């Protein structure tokens, strides 16, 4: 299950293979502390369970889109999650 929205996610080798492909929501392990060139080989960060969060691809996109791309492009989100210019 996604740790944020609670939707059931599909993880290869773990999840029920009977779930039809079109209903599968990909699960992703998100690093709460984002990985970068400095910490990518630091196991205290890459493999530390307290730094990992199992979420669905939608929540993952939102997380990264909100914090990185939006800021980079001079965009931000309003309270409803709509993309707006800053």
State in angstroms the smallest separation of the CB of 54 from Zn ion. Answer: 10
What phi and psi, each to the nearest 5 degrees, are found at residue 21? Answer: -50, -40
- Residue count, binding to Zn ion (CB under 5 A): 6
63 vs 85, beta carbon nearer Zn ion: 63
Q: Taking CB under 5 A as the rule, which mask of x and - marks residues 6-45 in contact with Zn ion?
A: ------------------------x---------------
| DSSP structure string for 8-71 | --B-TTTS-TTS-GGG--BEEEEESS---TTTTT-HHHHS-GGGEEEEEHHHHHHHHIIIIIHH
- For Zn ion, the binding residue among 4, 10, 33, 39 (CB under 5 A) is 4
Say how far apart CA 57 and CA 78 lie, in whole Å.
21
Residues that bind Zn ion (CB under 5 A): 2, 4-5, 30, 56, 59
């Amino acid at each position: 299950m996604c740790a944020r929205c609670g939707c059931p996610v599909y993880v290869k080798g773990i999840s029920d293979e009977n779930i039809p492909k079109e209903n599968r929501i990909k699960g992703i392990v998100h690093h709460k502390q984002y990985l970068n060139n400095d910490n990518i080989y630091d196991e205290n960060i890459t493999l530390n369970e307290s730094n990992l969060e199992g979420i669905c691809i939608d929540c993952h996109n939102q997380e990264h889109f909100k914090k990185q791309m939006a800021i980079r492009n001079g965009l931000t989100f309003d309270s409803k999650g709509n993309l707006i210019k800053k």
